Every structure is written in structure tokens, then in C-alpha cells.
Structure 1
Amino acid sequence: MRRSQRGIAFSLAIALLALSAWSLAARSVDLGLLGEAQAQAQEIDVRSELAIIQAHFAGGGPQLVNAQTALKAYGVYSGALDGKWGPRTREAFQAVLKTYIAIGGRGRDWGINKPEDTQRLIDWTLSAAKANREGSEFPD
């Protein structure tokens, strides 16, 4: 390899190293923000949202099985996929809600203000589970 080719190859290697370092730093910031949101989530009272979600799933059944599946994919539900509202389902929704609200707040376009908003939370939970699996940016 000629001297000029080695210089170009060296410059490319340095550029790739810099790009990798930048990508890693950006990912660390994303994870740091997620950790911060999760820490803030511990302080959030979600009783009113839980009541709305429980009302949405009043009859249980297949809709709740789908929600339990999303909660399991997210990593907060370890109970049976039985379509029944119980303590494990409640605790799993509570955990997800705290992070969800810490990230997006309680506004009309994000919060759980009526039973119909529950599907938005389920969709977010599935997106968050996918982001966790793939190591990609957390949804907001």
C-alpha cells in the first residue's frame, strides 16, 4: 500500500472510531434519560389512571389478555395470560404508567384521561418493549 493510501485508510479508521464513539455517547444519553424518567416515575401517583384502565377492562377477556401480553413483553407482568384483572395485572399497569407519565406527562394527547386512552398506553408499552429488545430509542 502506498503512503497516501495508508493515510486515507488511517483517516477513515479514525473517522469510523469517532462515529462509533459518538453513537455510543448518544445511546448513553438516551439510557441516562430513561433512567432519570424511571427514577422520577417512582414518585408518581397513578391511582386515578389505574381506575380508568380497570374500568376499560371491566369485563376482562381477550382485550385484557392482549394487554397482559404487552405488559409481559415489557417485562413487568409475570402472571397468567388469563384476561382477569388481579393484583399482578394492577401492579404491572402501575409500573408502566409511572414511566409513561414520567416521559410524557398527563396531557390530553398523552395521559390516561378516559378509558379509550388505554389503547394508546398498550401501543406505547409494545413500542417500549421493542425498543428495549433492540436497544433502540425509547418511544415518546
Structure 2
Amino acid sequence: MDYEEYEQLAEQQRVKNNQLLDNFEEHLKLEGLSEKTVSKHLSNLDFYVNHYLLYEEIIEPKDGIGEVGYFFEGWFPRKAMWSSPTSVNATITVLKKFYTYLLSQDLITKVQYSELLDLIKESKAEWVSYYEPMDSGW
């Protein structure tokens, strides 16, 4: 696949992703979240589904559940200049909400969702620790 074909397919996926994000936004509003919180969640989620999941190959959000570890271990620290312990925690929060929503829509399985929760439980401290000051030994 050449670059132009990739870009065309990525744009088609972005349109689908944005429709899913619109539906998720409505879901968050129905949960009673404030506009500011919804906006922040959508911004963090957009970075994951429309940037990371489309960066090297085209991965649908439902399949992106298996990419969360790679995102926090390498891509997020390198590509998000604003990444910090706070932004890691905020992104974890919205990914959990998003994949809960996808589960409620039968787009992922309970097993996939449980594996995501296990990964977050096991790895969150490590992901946050990437932003701790390093002791250079000097």
C-alpha cells in the first residue's frame, strides 16, 4: 500500500472514529459529566484513536484495546509533549470509560475488557513512573 492509499483509508477510518466519538460524547453527557470534563475526555481519546491507532497502520478502536500497553510504554511519552503522570491518569480514565462503552455496545468482549483492566492494574504504576525525575548519579 502506498502513502496516498494509506492516507485515504486512514481518513475513512477517522470518519468512522469521529462518529463513534460523537456517540461516546452523548453517552458521557447522559452520565452527567460536565462539558469541561467531556471535552477533556474527548481530547485525550481523540489522541488515542485518531493519532496513535492510525499512526503506522489502521487499527479500529475496538481492536485498539490490545494496543493500550504499547501506547503508554512508548508512544505517549515520545509523541505527547504534554505527557505527565496527570495526563497518563486522565487518559487511563477515559480509555476505561470508552472501552466500558464499547462493551455495552457489544463491540468488545467481557474477556477483552477484563484483560484491559488487568493490564492497567499491573502496569499503571510503571507508566506513571516514566515521568519521575531520573537520578543521574551526579
Task: Please confirm whether the aligned pair reaches a TM-score higher than 0.5, indicating the same fold.
Answer: no
- For normalisation by structure 1, the TM-score amounts to 0.31
Q: Computing the radius of gyration over CA atoms, which structure comes out larger, 1 or 2?
A: 1
- For normalisation by structure 2, the TM-score amounts to 0.31
